[in-house]
Amino acid sequence: MAAEVYYQAIGTLQSHSYLNNLNHHQKHQNNLVTLVSRDFISSNGLSTRRSNCTGQRNCSVIRSLASQTSVVDPVLSPSRSNAGDTYKKSNEAALILIRHGESLWNEKNLFTGCVDVPLSKKGIDEAIEAGKRISSIPVDVIFTSALIRAQMTAMLAMTQHRRGKVPIMMHNESEQARSWSQVFSEDTKKQSIPVIASWQLNERMYGELQGLNKQETADRYGKEQVHEWRRSYDIPPPNGESLEMCAERAVAYFRDQIEPQLLSGKNVMISAHGNSLRSIIMYLDKLTSQEVISLELSTGIPMLYIFKEGRFIRRGSPIGPSEAGVYAYTRRLALYKQKLDNMFQ
């Protein structure tokens, strides 16, 4: 199918605001992300409405980092719709975020944090389903946390990718590990996707709540207290990390290790966790510490951003591998899918 066909979809998408588009996706796919106070997203007045940051140290750090990004949509803006050359010349990359599929402890409703538990049967199915949704989106490098549930999710998702590249875990923990895991064929390397695991993308450390049942904890300490531990920005659970503390390491890692990949045009997938991803989304979408409280991520639903000219544009979640809208977002995505369609005709 020709790339132009995908561009036709832009005509229909142009009339959608960023938020409408997001809502359209959400309607069709079980709430990838829930933002209770959404009005800020469609507004240009982000900075004026964002004076209510309650976080202390890191809040200002996050906000100054975030000030480099924007939710303005250059891809779908009418003035750009016919600017084919502009698309060609501009440097852009896809960024896929995915929270791991349901884990055995999600299933049991236990606080998990940095405890390293695997996916449940349902989580395995979710990861495979997630893989189908992104199976026509190019992935050049994968970042996961150091935890098995995020790694399982990434690996299972990639089994569904139409390009058929093999994800390979990088082992840089020692010189010997690096040397013993070398690949000596350039051709094979080209058919591989490096997978980089980092503790900085781990779930936030839940301290003394790890292993406790969420409902029983609420019964014992009160719903409000537990909600504060779970969703406030800067109040940590007993001996654990607040979201602010989690953001400090996860966002720093994103900026230092992941953004350079995107800047060089590489398409990146991040498989991580509810709270490490919430903190990264806070950075990408310039959410305040108040706004992030209402951000919830579903397990196993991938979310696509386009990184273009230093800005992150949230595109919602691909519904399926053939959904025209997703591939219409950029010429590169359209061409990539067209190539895959030709290969597998």
Ligand X SMILES: O=C(O)[C@@H](CO)OP(=O)(O)O
What's the min distance (Å) between Cβ of 78 and ligand X?
Answer: 40
Whole-number minimum distance, CB 243 to ligand X, in Å?
Answer: 9
Comparing CB distances to ligand X, the nearer of 115 and 324 is 115
105 annotated among ligand-binding-site residues: yes
Look at residue 289 and give its three-state secondary structure: coil
User: Would you say 291 is a known binding-site residue?
Assistant: no
Residue 91, number of CB atoms within 10 A of its CB: 12
Beta carbon of residue 206, minimum distance to ligand X (angstroms, whole number): 5
Residues 196 and 218: their CA atoms lie apart, in Å, by 36
Residue 100: active-site member: yes
**Residue 194, strand partner residues:** 168
Nearest distance in Å: CB 103, ligand X: 7
- Residue 205 marked in a binding site: yes
Annotated binding residue 310: no
Longest alpha-carbon distance in the chain: 61
Which of 92, 126, 161, 203 is an active site residue?
203
- Name the CA dihedral angle for 19, 24, 26, 28, rounded to a multiple of 10 degrees: 180
Residues engaged in binding ligand X (CB under 6 A): 106, 111-113, 203, 206, 230, 274-275
Residue 11 annotated as lining a ligand binding site? no
Min dist. Cβ of residue 273 to ligand X (A)? 6
State which residue, 206 or 253, has the beta carbon closest to ligand X: 206
Q: Which is nearer to ligand X, 112 or 120 (CB)?
A: 112
Q: Looking at beta carbons only, is 163 or 231 nearer to ligand X? A: 231
Asked about 224 being catalytic, the answer comes back as no
Q: 3-class SS at 169?
A: strand
Q: Is 100 one of the annotated binding-site residues?
A: yes
102 marked as binding residue = yes
Spatial distance between the Cα atoms of 52 and 46, rounded to a whole number of angstroms = 12
Positive or negative torsion for Cα 201, 316, 136, 100:
positive
State the DSSP H helix or E strand holding residue 313, giving kind and residue range, or none if neither: strand 311-316
Q: Which of 25, 92, 100, 161 is catalytic?
A: 100
Contact residues for 43 (Cβ-Cβ < 8 A; gap 6+): 49
* Number of residue whose CB is nearest ligand X: 112
Q: Taking the alpha carbons of 263, 264, 266, 271 in that order, is the dihedral positive or negative? A: negative
Helices (H), the chain: 3-14, 18-28, 39-42, 57-66, 84-89, 104-107, 121-133, 148-158, 175-180, 186-190, 214-221, 223-231, 243-253, 259-263, 274-284, 324-328, 331-343
Give whichever of 156 and 243 is closer to ligand X, judged by the CB atom.
243
Residues within the annotated binding site for substrate? 99-106, 112-113, 149, 203-206, 214, 230-231, 274-275
Catalytic residues: 100, 203
